[in-house]
Structure 1
């Protein structure tokens, strides 16, 4: 693919946050928004390769508190309570207005699918289509599965994970970690982030070709991810339990749901339930884990198909 023209910038969105964003391709063409995972993983350049740069534009941004946006979540823990899904929906709308986009195709992976669905349900008039892989809604049940029940699959690693932070009887692990990652002692926060990262690296390890993710072993990226993931998961994604029941709001919006059969950290049942509640959507279950080349190729095809 030839070099894609790239426009970058920073957008103040309130609460002391400034978002890094980028737009690539034909700035007069149909827009395709990419929402990254995590929460807190930050955007990478791969979204640019999924468009036809002569006819489309690819847009992404680092969500508040992570990546090249500022401030980073661990640096301003006093702002963490303002970092919510409704706030991020407002951020997306602010970016859309700033770039002069009327409607866009919204794409994303993992946490990005939760945010994409929540945004589309809040602003269906702004969404032309959805393309999602490694599908999650960050519901209470999904969080319980990935932090508690999945210990039955990886019992020895989960034991280390469960005993790495202090927690009173009855406290959920995700809440204990969220609390530890806001502890005034930086050493407590670092130990919690490292333990959380080890568990994250293991529970996505059953997919073909898996390799350890360096982001979970490199500070400050690891600390940003652990802080934001536990913050959002301890609150069930600030509305994740409502997403499935609001799929009627997407009536008339085409969508593609792509999920890995071997994605044990996020079983395919979530994508299947969303598909059943969303007439006109397509469901593709591929022989991969939490994302992979087949899922990415299907998303690229969906983006191309959106041009008609």
Structure 2
């Protein structure tokens, strides 16, 4: 039977509105000492244009030049940077280890880094803040801390980071999986990705599966004493990374896992995520709803995939309801026929359309 006519990918492919712009400038900025942290940044588009601060996901996902393609390069001055511990920022978790690269690595530190980068790039007035997944979390946290510097929030794949949100992604039916791997005992992303779920749990013993995130964090924190322990740690990081990378797409691309299948990226990504998740994202419970009045004072634009299994749509619904109750429904709320990734075609085109339609910032 010929299946060649079936849709093979949900990614944007060649359908971008804007071509890849050249990098105008790049550098490293020292943002902390003891231990020293230097964040890597790049600048794209119009150097005299409206500033856009791009906040990548993960935590630990790092940036790539393609992320500048959401924006009209004639209108916007786009800033990409790798958050502490990942990408080209130094120290990197994969090379320096977690004891160094995860020291002084919290949400408050990242918010401070954004302010330091603003100063370094001489951004004096408000800017557009654009973030997806964990980037949406960080964008909202930044806006609450610095509303005067936030002209608008453009958010994709809302991640509120509540315990129930993390359990959906990482716990599911894990506690009973050994006895009934296909039992739908708890809600979770495993229901749509049983093979990838089996791989995620294969690293753990039945007892460790009672708390998947804690067990993975223990593996990542352990200093390997021999080759077998090191191999288990590296395998755990790779499988953690692949779990999120594959399920981020409505049509999983298991044959082309991209950066999520690269050993160094995976080791960095997995350990930073586990660090933030184990510490409740370094944010007080209910932080966004306790400060919903601040968020409601800023134009908020939301794009969320209906088939998002990393950050289910209920998280966006929760935020939209809170903003509406606070008297300021989102300026834009688009639910796409897509999954989680910003590179899903419907998500990417919706985000570009929002950026094209934003009222200009007075410079």
What TM-score do you get using the length of structure 2 for normalisation? 0.78
- 1:193–1:227 Cα contact (<8 Å) kept: yes
Question: Unaligned regions of 5+ residues in structure 2, if any?
Answer: 1-18, 173-187, 225-229
The 5 A counterparts of 1:107-122 are 107-122=130-145
Matched, 1:249 2:294: yes
C-alpha displacement of 1:179: 1.7
Matched, 1:69 2:74: no
C-alpha displacement of 1:83: 1.1
Distance 1:50 1:153, change over 3 A: closer
- 1:167–1:176 Cα contact (<8 Å) kept: no
C-alpha displacement of 1:138: 1.9
Distance 1:59 1:152, change over 3 A: same
Determine which of 320, 323, 329 is the counterpart of 1:275. Answer: 320
Match of 1:57, SS? strand
C-alpha displacement of 1:202: 4.6
Determine which of 119, 131, 146 is the counterpart of 2:169. Answer: 146
C-alpha displacement of 1:153: 4.4
Whole-Å Cα distance in 2 between the matches of residues 225 and 5 of structure 1?
Answer: 24
Corresponding residue for residue 16 of structure 1: 36
* Matched positions, count: 307
Corresponding residue for residue 194 of structure 1: 238
C-alpha displacement of 1:162: 2.8
Whole-Å Cα distance in 1 between the matches of residues 213 and 220 of structure 2?
Answer: 11
Q: Deviations over 1:232-275 (max 9, x none)?
A: 12222221732233222112211111111111221101111111
Match of 1:114, SS? helix
Corresponding residue for residue 335 of structure 2: 285
Whole-Å Cα distance in 2 between the matches of residues 136 and 31 of structure 1?
Answer: 24
C-alpha displacement of 1:52: 2.8
The 5 A counterparts of 1:163-174 are 163-165=202-204, 172-174=211-213
Whole-Å Cα distance in 2 between the matches of residues 284 and 31 of structure 1?
Answer: 23
Match of 1:10, SS? strand
Whole-Å Cα distance in 2 between the matches of residues 91 and 69 of structure 1?
Answer: 12
- 1:139–1:240 Cα contact (<8 Å) kept: no
